[in-house]
Structure 1
Amino acid sequence: MTQHRYDSLRHEYAKLAPHYDIRWKTYIDASVREARRSLLLAAGDSVLDIGCGTGVLLAELAREIPGVRLAGIDLSNEMLAIARRRLGTDVELKEASAEDLPFGDATFDAVVSTSVFHYIREPQRALQEMRRVLKSGGRLVIVDWCDDYLTCRVCDAFLRIFDAGHFRTYRSDELCELLVDAEFSDVKVERYKVSWLWGMMTAVANRPDHL
């Protein structure tokens, strides 16, 4: 059922894939930079990128972190095809949704998602899945649009009407509440602007040792 609800989004990104990296370069670079800063990875860590797209973040992690073990999921086969060409065979890439992660319990040291959360139809279920695949004490990083900013609220209202692939954006306090409700610990949400026009937020949280 969840997979069918994303058909519009798949169709949208099938068309965007060939020129996605060029069209959104400034925005992608800002998101990747923020995610990389917040992940706090060590050599040999394992990382899952949810909504990995064309693999830009995964490629950067592969270059920077010795022995890092990488995996990614995305709904778009076209985006994944570009990621596979960029990353080769050492990265495990799968077509899947955030609500149904095709990995075992306690698999990853870190889970990251950049510019994807506003597409997720069942955010609480997705967060529970993220917590499930994290190791005890593992770190979650979410980078996304922030509804605290007027431009984001206006864009969100427009996209809810005219873009079937879009779901909704969140205020920083709403994302914090979702993470707490999903039983993450040490939740912190920081908001900031990546340009004079556009506002973002980064949430970091841990899977508690007792879960």
Structure 2
Amino acid sequence: MHSDPEKHSDPVQKEYSRLAPLYDHRWSFYIDSTIQETINRLAINPHERVLDLGCGTGALIQRLLHLAPEARFFGLDPSVEMLCVAKRKLPDSVELCVGSADTLPFANESFDVVISTNAFHYFRDPAQAIQEARRVLKPNGRLVITDWCHDYLTCRICDLLLRLFNRAHFRTYGVSQCQVMLQNEGLHEVSIEKYKIDWLWGMMTAQAVKETAA
């Protein structure tokens, strides 16, 4: 994992290069709660290949390894610093790489599951990210996205403030917007559940399936 000389011009990389050493401690409740909610809606089978898109410090993969030790895990994130934290906590069997959700550095039909937790509101081109996730999924592969839900007033307020004052943040989406995006990119069996983890954070977890090859 090599540092990108252009990272200081990318607001997401700039923000998380600064936050990486403190991230797990500062956001421990939020991380633990959203990971647990995602796991509650997710089944990983033995020997499946799983990509964590926007894996950050590797907290989700760390939890999933205990639940599915025979699965093969990969993590991708734009921040070298966040991946360095992940590398220290994860075994060498987990493949970590620097990259963008817009152009995944993986071959077509490489994964059984693609997961993204707490990263979708950073994606500058969410439709392209979904398209890329669909490309790397095998037929009948599953896409799972957990992120803030714009349907909640508290999240709409946070979204507005962050769009004004934080260049790393892009935007949040509601259930209907997320459903349309997933369906427009050719995914099937779309289901989205929204919930709150406390008085502030309103979340949603979306699940969708890539169709079987003809």
Output the TM-score relative to the length of structure 2. 0.94
The aligned counterpart of 1:86 is: 89
Assess, with a 3 A threshold, how the Cα gap between structure 1 residues 106 and 91 changes in structure 2: closer, same or farther. Answer: same
Bigger helix fraction: 1
The aligned counterpart of 1:134 is: 137
Q: Structure 2: how far apart are the matches of 1:180 and 1:5? A: 35
Q: In the alignment, is the contact (CA less than 8 A) between 1:39 and 1:139 conserved in 2?
A: no
| 1:139 counterpart SS class | strand
Give the C-alpha shift of residue 15 in structure 1: 0.9
Per-residue CA distance 1:161-188 (angstroms, 9 max, x = gap): 1111111000111001000001000000
Identity across matched positions, percent: 48
Q: In the alignment, is the contact (CA less than 8 A) between 1:51 and 1:75 conserved in 2?
A: yes
Deviates further, 33-42 or 102-111: 33-42
Q: In the alignment, is the contact (CA less than 8 A) between 2:8 and 2:14 conserved in 1?
A: no
User: Which of 96, 99, 114 lines up with 1:96 in the alignment?
Assistant: 99
- The two structures, once aligned, show a CA RMSD in angstroms of 1.4
Q: Structure 2, unaligned stretches of length 5 or more?
A: 1-5
Q: Which amino acid aligns with 1:164?
A: R
Assess, with a 3 A threshold, how the Cα gap between structure 1 residues 56 and 194 changes in structure 2: closer, same or farther. Answer: same
Q: Structure 2: how far apart are the matches of 1:6 and 1:154? A: 27
Assess, with a 3 A threshold, how the Cα gap between structure 1 residues 128 and 6 changes in structure 2: closer, same or farther. Answer: farther
How many positions carry a matched residue from both structures? Answer: 209
| 2:25 counterpart SS class | helix
Per-residue CA distance 1:103-136 (angstroms, 9 max, x = gap): 0010111000000000000111110100000010
User: Which of 169, 185, 200 lines up with 2:172 in the alignment?
Assistant: 169
The aligned counterpart of 2:32 is: 29
Q: Structure 1, unaligned stretches of length 5 or more?
A: none
Q: Structure 1: how far apart are the matches of 2:102 and 2:24? A: 25
Assess, with a 3 A threshold, how the Cα gap between structure 1 residues 179 and 5 changes in structure 2: closer, same or farther. Answer: farther
Q: In the alignment, is the contact (CA less than 8 A) between 2:122 and 2:169 conserved in 1?
A: yes
